[in-house]
Amino acid sequence: MNTDTTASWTAAFRSAVISPYEDIELLPLRAFSAQTVRQIIRLDGGGSALRIRLSNRYGSAPLHIGGARLARRTEGSGIESGSDTPLRVDGAEEFTVPAGEDIVTDPVEQTVAAGDELAVSLWLPSDTGLTTYSLVPLRTGYAVPGNALAATTLDGAEGLEELDTRHFISGADVLAPAGTAIAVAFGDSWFEGNGTTPDTDHRFPDLLNNRLREAASGTTTGLVDWVVNQGLSANRLLTDEVGEHALARLRRDVLDVPGVTHVLVHFGLNDLGIPGQEAHPASAPIPSATDLIAGLTTLAERLHAAGLTAIATTLGPYKDTVYDGYATPEGLAIGREVSDWIRSADSPFDAYVDFDVVADPADPDRIRDDYDSGDGLHVNDAGAQALADAVDLASLKV
C-alpha cells in the first residue's frame, strides 16, 4: 500500500450514473448475466496509483462481481499484453456491491497519466438485474458471454455486443501530488457531450482539459490541474429525471469529489424543455425565471459554503431543436432572462462562460449551423471547441 504523505487521492475520471427505474426512459434498459463487460475510461489526470469506483446505487439486489481486471487499452476492446491486473476489494478478487451502495476498489500501484485509456473488465456470473448506468458516455463498451477477463481482445468474439451506455463504473481516483486541484463540470448534456463524435473525446470538458495542459506546458501557472465531467444528459436543476435533480446530486457528484476546488455549472435547459414534450411524463410545469434563478443561487451558495469557486455558463441556444415540444416561446424567453442574470452583477457566481459563442448572430436563440450537431439542441465537435475556447482560464486559478 502506498503510504506517501505527499500525495492524496484525487478524482481523475467521473461518470454520472442514473437509475433504470425512472419514468423517463431515453434508451433501452438492460441487465447482464453470465457475461464479461469490458468498458473503456480515459483519465483526465494522472498519479502514482489508481482505484476504480463501482456503483450499484440504484440496483434492486446485490451485484455479484466474479472478477474484475484493469488493463491499458490498445484499440477497440483490445488490451496491452502484460498490463492486465486484478481489481480487488478488501483483498478479494470476487466481491459483492450491496444494493443501493457504491464501493471503491483497493489501490492498484501503477503510474498513470492524463489521456491514458484503461479497460475495466467485469465478470458478471449471475443476473445483475437492471443496471445503474451512465446514459451517454460516448465511449463504446463491450459484452460477451462467459468469463473473458483474460482475453486480450473481445473483437470478433461470438455473441459480442457493443454498448452505447456505461454500466456500474462511476469514477476513478489517482494518487496525485498533494495540492492537486481539479474542476468539476456539473451539468447536463452540454457537458456530457451529446452531439460530439463518440470515442474521440471531443466533449467540452475534454477540450477544456486540452487548453489547461497547453497552458501548463507554457508560462501559465496556478490553474486547476484538470477537469472531470459530471454532465448528465436530460438532467434538470429543480426536478428529478433524468437522474436526481442538480441540487439533490450536488453532494455526491461535486462536494464529495476529492480534489475539487472549482465547479462549472450548466443547468436550466431541460427544466424549460422537458415539460413541453408529450413523449415524457409531465412531472413539473415550466419553471419561471425566478424559480431557476433561486435554484442557481442556492447552488452557488452551497458551492461557496464548501469553499469552492462557482462558475456559471449561460444557457445554450436551442430554438431549432428537432425534439417536439422542447423549444417553446415561453421557455426561450425565460432562458434569455436567466442568462442575462448570469451575466449581471446580481449573479452570485464568481465568473461566467458565455455560451452565446455558438449562437447564430442573426437569431441568437438557435445554434449556428456550423456548430449544430444536427438536432438543434446540441453542439458538434467544433461547437464544443468554441465553448472550451470561451472559458477565461483566469477563472480557473487556484
Q: How is the chain split into domains, by residue range?
A: 15-172, 181-396
Confidence class for position 1, pLDDT limits 50, 70, 90: very low
pLDDT (tens digit per residue) in 99-111? 999 999 999 999 9
- Cell (9 digits) for 106: 483497493
Integer CA distances (angstroms), 217 to 177, 223, 262, 396, in order: 17, 12, 21, 16
Partners of residue 172 on adjacent β-strands: 13, 52
What is the gyration radius of the CA atoms in the chain, in angstroms?
Answer: 21
pLDDT (tens digit per residue) in 262-318? 999 999 999 999 999 977 766 789 999 999 999 999 999 999 999 999 999 999 999
DSSP class of residue 155 equals: T
Contact 132, 17 (CB under 8 A): yes
**Higher-scoring residue by pLDDT: 278, 92:** 92
Sign of torsion over alpha carbons 131, 134, 140, 141:
negative
Ramachandran assignment for 233, one of left (phi > 0), alpha (psi -120 to 50 degrees), beta (any other): beta
- The H or E element spanning position 213 is helix 204-217
Residues 204-228, buried b or exposed e (16+ Cβ, 10 A)? Answer: bbbbbbebbeeeeeeeeeebbbbbb
pLDDT (tens digit per residue) in 60-75? 999 999 999 999 999 9
- Cell (9 digits) for 262: 472549482
Distance CA 138, CA 164 (A): 7
- Residue whose grid cell is 462549472: 264
Distance CA 167, CA 122 (A): 10
- Residue whose grid cell is 483566469: 394
Q: Taking residues 179-187, what's their average pLDDT?
A: 98
Contact 130, 33 (CB under 8 A): no
Confidence class for position 92, pLDDT limits 50, 70, 90: very high
Residue 220, pLDDT score: 79
Residue 3, pLDDT score: 53
pLDDT higher than 90, residue 4: no
Contact 112, 46 (CB under 8 A): yes
Cis bond before residue 112 (omega within 30° of 0): no
Residue 168, pLDDT score: 99
pLDDT higher than 80, residue 2: no
First CA to last CA distance, the chain: 30
pLDDT higher than 60, residue 366: yes
Packing angle between helix 381-389 and helix 204-217, nearest 10 degrees? 50
Sign of torsion over alpha carbons 204, 206, 211, 212:
positive
Distance CA 1, CA 49 (A): 10
pLDDT higher than 80, residue 354: yes
Contact 117, 73 (CB under 8 A): yes
pLDDT (tens digit per residue) in 214-255? 999 987 789 999 999 999 999 999 999 999 999 999 999 999
Contact 36, 123 (CB under 8 A): yes
- Please provide the DSSP assignment of 143-212 as one string: EEES--TT-S--TT-TT-EEESSEESEEEEEEEEETT--EEEEEESHHHHTTTSPTTS--SHHHHHHHHH
Sign of torsion over alpha carbons 168, 170, 172, 178:
negative
Contact 9, 258 (CB under 8 A): yes
Write down the CATH superfamily of domain 181-396.
Answer: SGNH hydrolase (3.40.50.1110)
Q: Which one, of 247, 337, 250, lies nearest residue 293 by Cα? A: 337
Contact 183, 224 (CB under 8 A): yes
- Residue whose grid cell is 469552492: 308
Q: Which one, of 322, 360, 317, 320, lies nearest residue 339 by Cα? A: 317
- Please provide the DSSP assignment of 360-372 as one string: ETTEEEEE-GGGB
Residue 23, classed as helix, strand or coil, is coil
